[in-house]
Amino acid sequence: MDTTLIKSCEEKAQQWLASSVYDDETKKEIRQMLESDDKSALVDAFYQNLEFGTGGLRGIMGAGTNRMNRYIVGMATQGFANYIHKAFPGRQDLSVVVGHDCRNHGREFAETVANIFSANGIRVFLFESLRPTPEVSFAIRHLGAVAGVNVTASHNPKEYNGYKAYWADGAQVIAPHDTGIIEEVNKVRVEDVKFQGVKELIEIIGGEMDYDYMEAVKTARIDADVIQRQKDLNIVYSAMHGTGRVIVPLCLRSWGFQNIHVVPEQMVVDGNFPTVVSPNPENAEAMTLGMKLGTRLNADLVVATDPDADRLAIVCRDNKGEWMIINGNQTCMMFCYYIIKNKKALGQLKDTDFLVKTIVTTEVITKMAQKNNIELRDCYTGFKWIAREIAISEGKKNYIGGGEESFGFLPFDKVRDKDAPASICLICEIAAWARDNGMTLYDLLMQIYLEYGFSLEHTINVVRPGKAGADEIKAMMENYRQNPPKEIAGSRVVLSKDFKLLKKYDAEGNASPLEMPAASNVLQYFCEDGTKVSIRPSGTEPKIKFYFEVKDTMGCANCYTGCVERAKQKVEEIKKSLGI
């Protein structure tokens, strides 16, 4: 290991030991790292400052500059408070909402955040205990707060915690506030942080907000009659040890569902997530207990939320009665299909309605929107961009749904982030409607493919850790940018999009402007046969992500397996074409 780097980290660690700011427990942990023969833990804890990015913070918990601890959280909050005062000069009624999920140190960090905001003269609405991310977003708007923080690392492993920063619209911050907050955070030293709270400025909230949020979720319901007819739909739900444990069953009952079962082992609040390797509903392993209970109870579907209840997972039975996890793109397709079809059938669809999807999400939704004359907007990855589309059309056009491939959907506009409780209620309504029409969710998925064409989406994460990895990822992006493929897996590239340069190119290389709200380091290629490839480096992890979408024609529901196999072969050909 680099001795210069070790020495630099030792010096930073000694500064923490010499300071009167840090507590004894933190200093004890630092001494253990300094005394250890293996300096890898010390280097990882101190080699850089945990960066406050456009979405906030996320990192492994522990002592050090590159760790999530009350001091790093404190500096972030002090900078955030400073920016709020800059953004609202002279305003006396400033308030923020603060929440947290089930993770270890979540309550401690949330109370630290609340104390610092209050010490800076800002009123704080602090949730009494763990709450879903979407409820925090809802509360910001509902209470007229100027900002908010939710302490959560979403679906990351148990070692992590995080800090999501929200603005007055209930969405995660975007320009100009994101860069403005980052600038203020970077100015703060730990000695500048006002840790001593003002109790009179902190108000505890809970049950009343739960009720108001639950009532808001009910506005996402489309067809109450079909739920009444199928109120005995057999539903199994898992909270994955997190924040959905109370609110999701309550919301389902408020919609009219009466046959709800929970996975008892995963209803226990536990930041160590003892029943899963990782609390990510995208992973099949995390759904094992739910599927076992579903089998025992002969359930119609199994649903789950991640720890902060912004993402959802859906498991239904296939044509052989076996459990099948609906992937993120299929989930988004299903929501959009039902929203369009049933709003139209019930006379609820308006000319001013619009849907939103992210640029890496399936183009099947584009076909749906075109066929039904519904406006569809493409935005960057991340729900803050979907929230932006809602905001710019507020009072003029009507948002009816939006989602992304990573298991997130928002079916109404009273929240401005992914909303698993509302989405779970709606997917159960969709399952009820399907059963009302003699179908399962699997049958409905096949119907969508038959109507709009088969599509398989596949994501590859190429991980390259450290500085050398970051340089390699940068070089890969530059190579694709300077030498764009003319064909991919034997199909001619007919359209290329470079979101960093905000330009698109036809097959002959003719350029035209690409209209987006900001530049982003993303490349996309669209082929003659319908293949779509998107490439982007991750903003939070040392990896580059490749999103593939492969098309086929599905002649009948029984042709699905064959389409999947052909598509998988095509994915391998695409990987060879791109050299990955």
Segment 97-114, tens digit of pLDDT: 999 999 999 999 999 999
Nearest residue to 543 (alpha-carbon basis) of 475, 464, 454, 425: 464
**154 annotated active-site:** yes
Q: Is the pLDDT of residue 9 over 90?
A: yes
Q: Does domain 214-452 have CATH number 3.10.20.30?
A: no
* Chain centroid, CA 34 distance in Å: 37
pLDDT at residue 540 in the model: 60
Q: Is the pLDDT of residue 53 over 90?
A: no
Q: How large is the average pLDDT for residues 370-385? A: 96
pLDDT at residue 470 in the model: 81
Nearest residue to 70 (alpha-carbon basis) of 102, 28, 23: 23
92-115 burial, b for 16+ CB within 10 Å, e for fewer?
Answer: eebbbbbbbbbbebbbebbbbbbb
Write the CB contacts of 252 (distance below 8 Å, at least 6 apart in sequence): 235, 237, 260, 424, 425, 428
pLDDT at residue 22 in the model: 96
Q: Is the pLDDT of residue 541 over 70?
A: no
pLDDT at residue 365 in the model: 98
In angstroms, the CA 334 to CA 323 distance is 17
Q: Is the pLDDT of residue 519 over 80?
A: yes
Rounded to two decimals, what is the model's pTM? 0.95
pLDDT at residue 539 in the model: 67
pLDDT at residue 565 in the model: 97
* CATH classification code of 48-205: 3.40.120.10
Residue type present at position 3 = T
According to CATH, where is 3.30.310 located in the chain?
454-578
Quick one: fold of 454-578? Answer: TATA-Binding Protein (3.30.310)
Q: Which of 95, 118, 154, 238 is catalytic?
A: 154
According to CATH, where is 3.40.120.10 located in the chain?
48-205, 214-452
Average pLDDT over the chain, rounded to whole? 96
pLDDT at residue 282 in the model: 82
pLDDT at residue 538 in the model: 80
In angstroms, the CA 82 to CA 77 distance is 8
In angstroms, the CA 405 to CA 399 distance is 19
Q: Is the pLDDT of residue 251 over 70?
A: yes
- pLDDT 10s digits, 277-313: 999 988 899 999 999 999 999 999 999 999 999 999 9
Q: Work out the angle between the directed axes of helices 24-35 and 3-18 (0-180°, nearest 10).
A: 150
DSSP string for 60-72: EBSSSTTSBSHHH
pLDDT at residue 466 in the model: 74
